[in-house]
Amino acid sequence: MSVILGIETSCDETAAAVVEDGRKVLSSCVFSQIDVHQAFGGVVPEVAARCHLESMNAVVDEALERAGVGRRQLTAIACANGPGLVGTLLVGLSCAKALSWSWSLPLITVDHLQSHVCANYIDSDLEPPFVCLLVSGGHTQLMHFSDYSASTLLGETLDDAAGEAFDKVARLLELGYPGGPAVDRAARGGDPQAYRFPEGVVDGYDFSFSGLKTAVLRTVEKLEEPLAGRACDLAASFQDAVNRVLFKKTLAAARETGVKQVVLAGGVAANSNLRERFAELTEIDVFMPSLKYCTDNAAMVASAAHFMGNAADLSATVYSRGKKSGSRR
Ligand code: KG4
Ligand code: ZN
């Protein structure tokens, strides 16, 4: 049996969680820095690192307390060590190293992107093989998992990530930060057919969202009425264009690879319209994490440590850029 304390600090959430055998969450604590960064309209890396440092110990204590678990019941300490902001990742990794050393527990590092995929193992009986659509603030990838730690990259974005496009368009539409949830909310009151934005046509399973973002910008520039009156229609039409292509390519990948399971992961997997589209599928089993495990959290880190973690020691380092999730097809 594994009882793993997970730590997550790759961007602007300080998180700690205790998870049993990769699927049963005993506690999951997330301290969000949204209020701090709101004033800047986005995450300021140095400020984020300082905030992690200030709340890390309290968040770990709370996770252990809520789980009712002491250090003697833990079997390992796990930490996401990349990709993400180097300064923030270092806070989490330093904390994990200190705990692992002082409590004589194994240290396990996990890839942040792979941990998003593992959010789907929480409270579910999902087992590979499956096709995964990973859509976060920094990444957009379609992957085929033949086993827990064996994946092939089928396609990825050639420019902006889907979440990044949501955040940029939210700024263009003056909907505020964080952008994804703001667009999601605005879109519910808008007409997705009001504007016909391009899907960003790219061959195969790759994606492109920067042209779509520019199309929204040009439309906003040409508006002859106040933006506030059109923001919901613009948000709904933009969201429709993003979700259409995400849905279409994921389904095509599942059909081509012959898998019967599709998995959504990453912050954009919290998007209500995207979830509704996939929920309507009948020929394929669709897995999506509950909303609290879509965006950054540490339960997914502890789960990933159980299923596909890397044994590490005090020489472990952090990395900012994504490693390719498995080989490219
Ligand atoms: O996975 P995540 O928490 O952090 C990264 O690893 O990047 O993803 C954050 C991204 C942000 O771009 C945010 O705007 C987007 O996920 N997001 C959403 C929604 N909730 C979060 N995008 C669309 N609809 C949402 N409901
Ligand atoms: Zn993330």
| Structure-derived torsion over alpha carbons of residues 130, 111, 245, 227, reported in degrees to the nearest 10 | 150
pLDDT of 300 above 80: yes
Question: Which residues, by Cβ under 5 Å, contact ligand 2, an ion?
Answer: 136, 296
Please give the average per-residue pLDDT across 98-124, as a whole number.
Answer: 97
| Distances, alpha carbon 18 to alpha carbons 31, 78, 123, 124, 174, in Å | 15, 10, 14, 17, 38
Q: For tokens 């990395």, what's the residue?
A: 319
Q: Which pLDDT score is estimated for 323?
A: 63
Q: How far is the CA of 328 from the centre of ligand 1 (A)?
A: 25
For the stretch 87-99, pLDDT in tens is: 999 999 999 999 9
pLDDT of 126 above 70: yes
Share of the chain above pLDDT 70, in %: 98
**Cα(238)–Cα(257) distance, rounded to whole angstroms?**
29
- For ligand 1, whether the C-beta of 243 sits within 6 Å is no
Structure tokens at 178: 């964080």
Q: Which pLDDT score is estimated for 321?
A: 86
pLDDT of 1 above 80: yes
Please give the average per-residue pLDDT across 246-270, as a whole number.
Answer: 97
Q: Name, in order, each residue with C-beta under 8 angstroms of 178's C-beta and a sequence gap of 6 or more.
A: 34, 167, 170
Please give the average per-residue pLDDT across 174-191, as a whole number.
Answer: 95
Q: Which pLDDT score is estimated for 58?
A: 98
Please give the average per-residue pLDDT across 313-324, as a whole number.
Answer: 87
pLDDT of 254 above 90: yes
For the stretch 183-228, pLDDT in tens is: 999 999 999 999 999 887 788 999 999 999 999 999 999 999 999 9
Share of the chain above pLDDT 90, in %: 91
Q: Which pLDDT score is estimated for 42?
A: 83
Q: pLDDT confidence of 165, banded at 50, 70, 90? A: very high
Average pLDDT over all residues of the chain: 95
Closest-CA residue, ligand 1 atom 2, reads 267
Q: Which pLDDT score is estimated for 326?
A: 56
Ligand nearest to the CA of 269: 1
Q: pLDDT confidence of 34, banded at 50, 70, 90? A: confident
Strand 76-80 to strand 13-20: parallel, antiparallel, or no bridges (unpaired)? unpaired
What is the per-residue DSSP string for 108-167?
EEE-HHHHHHHGGGTTS---S-EEEEEE-SS-EEEEEEEETTEEEEEEEBSSS-HHHHHH
Q: Which pLDDT score is estimated for 327?
A: 63
- For ligand 1, whether the C-beta of 181 sits within 6 Å is yes
- Asked, as a colleague might, if the bond just before 226 is cis with ω within 30 of 0, I would say no
For the stretch 102-111, pLDDT in tens is: 999 999 999 9
Higher pLDDT, 73 or 324: 73
- For ligand 1, whether the C-beta of 82 sits within 6 Å is no
Nearest-CA neighbor of 262 among 173, 139, 145?
Answer: 145
pTM of the prediction?
Answer: 0.95
- For ligand 1, whether the C-beta of 84 sits within 6 Å is no
**Choice from 166, 184, 185, 242 to test ligand 1 binding pocket (greatest atom count within 8 A of CB):** 166
Nearest-CA neighbor of 16 among 27, 24, 1?
Answer: 27
For the stretch 36-86, pLDDT in tens is: 888 888 889 999 999 999 999 999 999 999 999 999 999 999 999 999 999
